[in-house]
A and B are shown apart, each in its own frame.
Chain A
Amino acid sequence: GENVEQHPSTLSVQEGDSAVIKCTYSDSASNYFPWYKQELGKRPQLIIDIRSNVGEKKDQRIAVTLNKTAKHFSLHITETQPEDSAVYFCAATRGGGKLIFGQGTELSVKP
């Protein structure tokens, strides 16, 4: 079945630096790739997503890139701020809503 690997599991950056989280997926039919942010004790919340017909998508300081050939996608956060500290999850699906999640990355932004 579909598998999603996410790296790194923890990431520590200085405020103002960039952060990159990478995911690889196994199902070549996957066509939707969301990223969720989960603050401590809170629910996961969608921050950005990308569909397979698009190579890159940006929303202010965050961006996602997709390489279908290599079957990997990445989350880029620029000008990190302490409020970016959270656990980030990538996910993939071939449609119909059954998301397969990566293991999560705990991002720590140090002031």
Chain B
Amino acid sequence: DAGITQSPRHKVTETGTPVTLRCHQTENHRYMYWYRQDPGHGLRLIHYSYGVKDTDKGEVSDGYSVSRSKTEDFLLTLESATSSQTSVYFCATHEQASTDTQYFGPGTRLTVL
């Protein structure tokens, strides 16, 4: 499982509150990703990082921001959570651009009431 952990694993919050999800990896992988998983939509990329302080948007980035100050940590922040952001969030990593195999974390189930 490439030494990937996510915290918290479950969270219930209220609309309008800020939420930060953490992904931590011990493999020294350069690339890290945040996906959300919703029924009927598969996995959709929110943001990704190709190195410390280097991040870029994915296909569903509105309402989310990320930060990566260390190789091992990639944070996903919902500045003001909305009910449409209720989802399961997965972090993924891979080693380098030429190695496309991605390894996923265990996921975080977020419910926004």
Q: Which A residues fall within an 8 A CB radius of B?
A: 1, 6, 9, 32, 34, 36, 42-46, 49, 89, 91, 93, 95-104
Contacts and interface: CB of A to CB of B under 8 A. Distances in A.
15 contacts: A43-B1, A43-B90, A96-B50, A97-B31, A97-B48, A97-B50, A97-B94, A97-B97, A97-B100, A97-B102, A99-B43, A99-B100, A101-B42, A101-B44, A103-B41
Contacts of A89: 42-43
Interface residues of B, number: 25
B104 interface: yes
B59 interface: yes
B102 A99 contact: yes
B34 interface: no
Contact of A103 (B42, B48, B50, B98): B42
B100 A32 contact: yes
A42 B106 CA distance: 6
A6 B44 CA distance: 14
Contacts of B48: 97-98
Nearest to A32: B100
B73 to A, nearest CB: 18
B45 interface: yes
Contacts of A103: 40-42
